[in-house]
Amino acid sequence: MTPKKRMLTAYKGEKPDRVPVAPEFWYYIPAKVLGVDMIQLEREIPHWQALQKTFKHYNCEGWGIVQPEPKYDLFPINHQLRRVGEGRYEDKGIIHTPKGELTACTLYDKKEPSWKTERFIKNFQNDWPFYEKFILREANEYDWPAVQEALDKVGDDYLLEVLTGFTFIDFIGWEREGGLEQTILDIVDHERYLFELQKRYIHWITEFTQAIFSKTTAESVNIPCIWSTLSLVSPRMWRKWDKPVIEAVVNAAHQMNGLVHLHFHGNCMEVVEDFAQLGIDCVCPFERPPGGDVTNLRKVKKKLAGRVTFSGNVHTVETLIRGTPGDVKKETIEILEVWEGQPRLILGTGDQVGKETPENNIYAMIETAKKFGKY
C-alpha cells in the first residue's frame, strides 16, 4: 500500500498491510530536514510541501492540512512587516471596516514557530459583527483550485487533509484579544449572542465541509485543536459548545462519503466515549502525562469501542527526546500489543516531534512499527 492508502484504510477501521506509523512532524523537524529557519518555513514554503519532503525523508506515513484562502478581501486588509529584533519580525494585519480598523499582530522568530501578540477582536459588541462577515464566507468565495493543486502534488505520499474549521471555543477565541481567558468571560457575559453565533457557525461549517468534498478530491477533513481540550475547559463546556460543531462536521462529511480527523490535545479521558458516540473516524494524539491523562491504553481502546481509530501516544519528551532507542522501541511495542493485530490503530506521537529529538529515536519508532506492526 501507499502511505496515503495505509492511513485511509486505518481511518475506515479496515486492515492495511501493516500499522501506519505517522509521527507528527509539524515545524521543527521539517525545518531541520529542509535546512531553513522557522521564518522561511512559515512564510516561503507551503506547509504541505515541507511535510511531503519530510515524510519522504523518513520513509513513513503521515498527515497534514491545507486550507483554502479567500479569493478576495471583503473589507480592505493591509499587512505591515517590520524587524523588531535580531531574527524577529512583526507582521501587523489591518482590516478596514465601516466602524474602524481591526488590528492584529503575529511575531515571527527564526528559531521558533510564530505566535500572536495582538488579536483582531477587542471590543466584543463592535468588532464581532464585522469579523464574522470577514471569516464566515460562502464556499464559492474561496480559492479551491489551489487546494486541489496541493492534493494533486502530494498524491499518495501522505494523507493531506483539508482544514474544515475550528471547534466553537477555538473559533471565538482564536482572534479574541485576551485569548482563552477572555473567551471564557465572553461566554458568561454574552451567552445569548454566542449561542446564536454557534448556530450560524454550525450552518457555515456544515456547508463548508460539504464544499470540501464537492469541490476537491479530498478524502478527509481535519478539525484542529487550540484550546478545545479538557486541560483547559470542562467536559460540560466542551459538550455544550464544541461537541455540536464536531457532530455537524462528522454528519456532513459522512453524507459526502468523507472522513473526519479530530486533533485533541491534552486531557481527554472524560470524553473518549463521546468520540465513539459521534463516530469520528480518527482522533489523535492521546497524550500521556503530564501533557495528557492517558495512562491506560486498554481502557481507551474499550471506550473507543472499535468505532474510532486511535492515533498517537508515543511520548514526545520523556521517550523521544530524553529516552534511548530501546525506550522508544519498548513504548512502540506496548501500543502495538494493546491492539493485538486489530485495526483502528496508527502509531503516532503525543503531539509535535521536538527539535531536540535524536535522529536515532525517530528511526527507532518508525522501524519498530514497521517490523512489529504487521497484521
- Complete DSSP assignment for 111-148: SS--EEEE-SB-SHHHHHHHHHHHHS--GGGB-HHHHH
CA distance 34 to 29: 9
CA distance 14 to 344: 7
Number of helices (H) and strands (E) in the chain: give both, helices first: 15, 12
What global pTM score does this model have? 0.94
| Residue located via cell numbers 449561542 | 195
CA distance 339 to 29: 28
Each residue's pLDDT, cut to its tens digit, for the chain (375 residues) gives 999 999 999 999 999 999 999 999 999 999 999 999 999 999 999 999 999 999 999 999 999 999 998 886 666 778 899 999 899 999 999 988 887 888 999 999 999 999 999 999 999 999 998 889 888 989 999 999 999 999 999 999 999 999 999 999 999 999 999 999 999 999 999 999 999 999 999 999 999 999 999 999 999 999 999 999 999 999 999 999 999 999 999 999 999 999 999 999 999 999 999 999 999 999 999 999 999 999 999 999 999 999 999 999 999 999 999 999 999 999 999 999 999 888 999 999 998 999 999 999 999 999 999 999 998
CATH class of 3-70+137-372: alpha beta
Q: Where are the domains of the chain?
A: 3-70+137-372
CA 352 to chain centre: 11
Q: Given 3-state DSSP classes, what are the helix, strand and coil percentages for the chain, each rounded to the nearest 5?
A: 45, 20, 35
